Amino acid sequence: MKTNIHKQNLIEKLKEHSNTEKSNFWKRIAKELEKSTRKTREVNLDKLDKHTKENEVVMVPGKILGTGNLNHKILVASFSQTEKAKEKLKNNLISIQDLLKKDPKGKNIRIIG
């Protein structure tokens, strides 16, 4: 059973949205967030830098860690981030809810992790 009420609410919102918009992308993100804490994806900034291009929109269904640097501009959404990662990403970080509003179908978003 999940104890994080914010995570539960987000998962429910993503599932509802995926049904109304007929979007498998958001259903997949909800499924990833439902996984146990031990199976949560963790991605370092250097991996984001290596696997993305300039001005790309990226979703990390888990946690962003602060190891490495990001050498180009991307927009990143994730469930959580370390303080070091928040510092390094600054204006390139967006919440999952805001990304949901920005791209309701999830067509131009890559999943990394």
Tell me the pLDDT of the chain (113 aa) as tens digits. 557 899 999 999 999 999 999 999 999 999 999 998 888 899 999 999 999 999 999 999 999 999 999 999 999 999 999 999 999 998 899 999 999 999 999 999 999 98
CATH of the domain at 92: 3.100.10.10
pLDDT for the residue numbered 1? 53
Q: List 78's β-bridge partners, or say none.
A: 60
Q: Domain of residue 82: give its range.
A: 5-111
> Which residues are 62's β-sheet partners?
41
CA angle 103, 82, 64 (to 5 degrees): 45
Rounded to two decimals, the pTM is: 0.88
pLDDT at 113: 85
Domain count across the chain: 1
**Structure confidence at residue 2 (pLDDT):** 58
Give me the count of residues in the chain.
113
